């Protein structure tokens, strides 16, 4: 979508809002709808869809979809095979939320294949929302999750190469912004949003975070309101890209609130990107958002070109789409 067109849409949406009407510039899909970030979103929405069709709940569906990507060793930014931190250890962040406001999250979790499932247990089995590090690990073990080594030889090789490139020994605290600039594609959280036939919603996301991050660093993905937000009254949103920037604007919550005020999902995502850009002086760090309104309208927007997402709606095959971007 071109800038001029979006401005027009924004104005139109505002005018219609004043008249108490909704601008329907976003494509409204046939419910149920599942959308997920990046190319690996394809496997995620397939599995989510299948799970729902076979009688699973919405939560079962989003969890199952994300688990597929977590278990794929070829995805270097999520779960098994994810890039390690600066010290060579893979630490994972994940969250899950349903539209009623129930949610759970884990961060700085090491050694478990499915952080999204641990996040769900936090939601279902504890009075809390968010467990991190050693506490999250102890809880996962108590719940019967098995410890595994997530560092694949390929990811380790890349880490060793990265370490060699550092000028100072052993390793220096990385400048996260520089780390991310090495390869904007190292930011590939899987975020999955789904609405069932009645417009109830759920979402989940999972990531190994920024490649070679400082030990202990946590991104936006496990932070409810930043990396993920879901509200049955309105819709859902998730984020991918430079987590620090997303946290600073509480990106996913912002998008849901903009949709609540009548913004179309694409315009809401675009406004979040504009807000993000206003808070950072750097135009090289990718950030991208995906939104699903409860009626099945979807939207996506990124700062830089290249953000893809997968869509599955009733009666149609999964398709990959390219989000519009603020910069070319």
Counted residue by residue, the chain has a size of 328
User: Which tokens belong to 148?
Assistant: 């595994």
Nearest to ligand SD4 of 219, 296 (CB atom): 219
In the sheet that holds 228-231, the strands lie side by side as 228-231, 235-241, 287-293, 298-302
221 binds ligand SD4 (CB under 6 A): yes
241 binds ligand SD4 (CB under 6 A): yes
User: Are the CB atoms for 105 and 133 separated by under 8 Å?
Assistant: no
- Of 42, 187, 253, 294, which lies in the binding site for ligand SD4, with binding defined by CB under 6 A? 187
Question: What Cα–Cα distance (Å) separates residue 300 from each residue in 137, 202, 268, 322, 324?
Answer: 34, 17, 9, 9, 7
DSSP assignment letter at 172: P
Query: Could you give the CA distance from residue 161 to residue 181 in angstroms, rounded to a whole number?
Result: 16
219 binds ligand SD4 (CB under 6 A): yes
Restricted to residues 75-94, the positions that interact with ligand SD4 (CB under 6 A) are 77
* Minimum separation from the CB atom of position 107 to ligand SD4 (A): 9
* Minimum separation from the CB atom of position 104 to ligand SD4 (A): 18
Query: Could you give the CA distance from residue 290 to residue 257 in angstroms, rounded to a whole number?
Result: 14
If 0-12 CB within 10 Å is exposed, 13-18 middle and 19+ buried, where does residue 159 land? buried
**Does the annotation mark 280 as catalytic?**
no
Number of residues that bind ligand SD4 (CB under 6 A): 14
Helix 58-70 to helix 41-53 angle, to the nearest 10 degrees? 150
243 binds ligand SD4 (CB under 6 A): yes
Give the x-and-dash track for 194-213 against ligand SD4 (CB under 6 A): -------------x-xx---
251 binds ligand SD4 (CB under 6 A): no
220 binds ligand SD4 (CB under 6 A): yes
* Minimum separation from the CB atom of position 48 to ligand SD4 (A): 18
Binding residues for ligand SD4 (CB under 6 A): 77, 187-189, 207, 209-210, 219-221, 240-243
């Amino acid at each position: 979508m071109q800038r001029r067109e979006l401005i027009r849409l924004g104005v139109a949406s505002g005018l219609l809002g004043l008249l108490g009407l909704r601008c329907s510039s976003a494509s409204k899909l046939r419910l149920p709808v599942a959308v997920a970030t990046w190319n690996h979103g394809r496997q995620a929405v397939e599995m989510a869809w299948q799970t729902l069709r076979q009688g699973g709940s919405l939560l079962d569906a989003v969890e199952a979809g994300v688990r597929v990507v977590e278990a794929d060793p070829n995805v270097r930014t999520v779960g098994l095979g994810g890039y390690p931190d600066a010290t060579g250890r893979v630490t994972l962040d994940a969250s899950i939320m349903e539209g009623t406001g129930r949610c759970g999250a884990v961060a700085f979790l090491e050694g478990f294949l499915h952080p999204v499932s641990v996040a769900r247990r936090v939601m279902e089995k504890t009075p809390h929302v968010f467990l991190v590090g050693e506490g999250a690990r102890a809880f996962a073990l108590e719940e019967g999750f098995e410890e595994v080594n997530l560092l694949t030889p390929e990811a380790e090789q890349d880490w060793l190469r990265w370490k060699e490139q550092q000028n100072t020994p052993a390793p220096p605290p990385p400048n996260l912004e520089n780390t991310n600039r090495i390869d904007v594609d190292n930011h590939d959280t899987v975020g999955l949003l789904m609405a069932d036939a009645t417009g109830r919603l759920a979402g989940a996301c999972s990531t190994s975070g920024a490649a070679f991050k400082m030990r202990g660093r946590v991104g936006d993905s496990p932070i409810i309101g930043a990396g993920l937000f879901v509200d049955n009254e309105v819709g859902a949103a998730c984020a991918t890209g430079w987590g620090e920037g997303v946290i600073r604007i509480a990106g996913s919550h912002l998008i849901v609130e903009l949709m609540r005020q009548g913004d179309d999902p694409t315009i809401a995502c675009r406004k979040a990107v504009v807000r993000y850009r206003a808070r950072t002086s750097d135009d090289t760090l990718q950030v991208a958002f995906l939104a699903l309104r409860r009626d099945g309208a979807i939207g996506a927007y990124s700062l830089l070109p290249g953000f893809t997402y997968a869509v599955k709606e009733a009666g149609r095959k999964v398709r990959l789409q390219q989000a519009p971007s603020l910069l070319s």
